[in-house]
Amino acid sequence: MGRALSIVALATLAAGPLHAAGFSIFEQGSKATGMAGAVTAQADDPSMLFYNAGGLAFVEKSDFSVGATWIRSTKADFQGAGVFPGPNYSAEQETLSEFPPHAYWVQPVTNNFKFGLGVETPFGLTTSWKNPNQFAGRFLSTKASLMAFDLNPTIGWRVTPSFGIGVGALVRYSTVELNRHVPTINPFTLQAADIGALKLKGDYSTGYGFNVGLLHRVNESFSWGLSYRSKVTVDYEGDARLTQISTGNAQFDAILRAQLPFNTKLPVKTSIDFPDQASLGLAFGLTRNLMLETDVNWMGWSSFKEVAIDFTGGATNSLPDTTLAQNWEDVYSYRIGLNWTVSPASQVRFGFVYDQTPQPEEGVSPLLPDADRNGFCIGYGHTQGFRYDVGLMYLDFKSRTTNKARPEQGPFFGTYKTRAVLLGVTANF
Residues that bind another protein (CB under 8 A): 80, 82-89, 136-137, 139-140, 180, 183-185, 187-192, 251-252, 255, 405, 407-412
Point out which residues pair with 268 in neighbouring strands.
Answer: 238, 311
From the list 48, 32, 102, 54, the residue with the least C-alpha distance to 336 is: 32
Rounded to a whole number of angstroms, the distance between the first and last alpha carbons of the chain is 11
* Residue 227 beta carbon to another protein: minimum distance, rounded to whole angstroms: 37
Q: Cα separation of 56 and 153, whole Å?
A: 11
Whichever of 83 and 342 has its CB closer to another protein, that residue is: 83
Contact 53, 59 (CB under 8 A): no
* Residue 292 beta carbon to another protein: minimum distance, rounded to whole angstroms: 28
Q: Where do runs of H (alpha helix) occur along 230-341?
A: 250-259
* Residue 258 beta carbon to another protein: minimum distance, rounded to whole angstroms: 10
Whichever of 210 and 376 has its CB closer to another protein, that residue is: 376
* Residue 230 beta carbon to another protein: minimum distance, rounded to whole angstroms: 34
* Residue 342 beta carbon to another protein: minimum distance, rounded to whole angstroms: 29
Whichever of 184 and 327 has its CB closer to another protein, that residue is: 184
* Residue 167 beta carbon to another protein: minimum distance, rounded to whole angstroms: 45
Whichever of 245 and 425 has its CB closer to another protein, that residue is: 245
* Residue 404 beta carbon to another protein: minimum distance, rounded to whole angstroms: 13
Whichever of 79 and 383 has its CB closer to another protein, that residue is: 79
233: left (phi over 0), alpha (psi -120 to 50) or beta: beta
- In 3-state terms the chain splits into helix, strand, coil percentages (rounded to 5) of 10, 55, 35
From the list 30, 196, 193, the residue with the least C-alpha distance to 104 is: 30
Contact 55, 36 (CB under 8 A): no
Whichever of 80 and 337 has its CB closer to another protein, that residue is: 80
Whichever of 134 and 219 has its CB closer to another protein, that residue is: 134
* Residue 135 beta carbon to another protein: minimum distance, rounded to whole angstroms: 10
Contact 326, 335 (CB under 8 A): no
Alpha carbon distances (Å) from 275 to 172, 233, 279: 13, 9, 13
Whichever of 335 and 417 has its CB closer to another protein, that residue is: 417
From the list 382, 381, 320, the residue with the least C-alpha distance to 351 is: 381
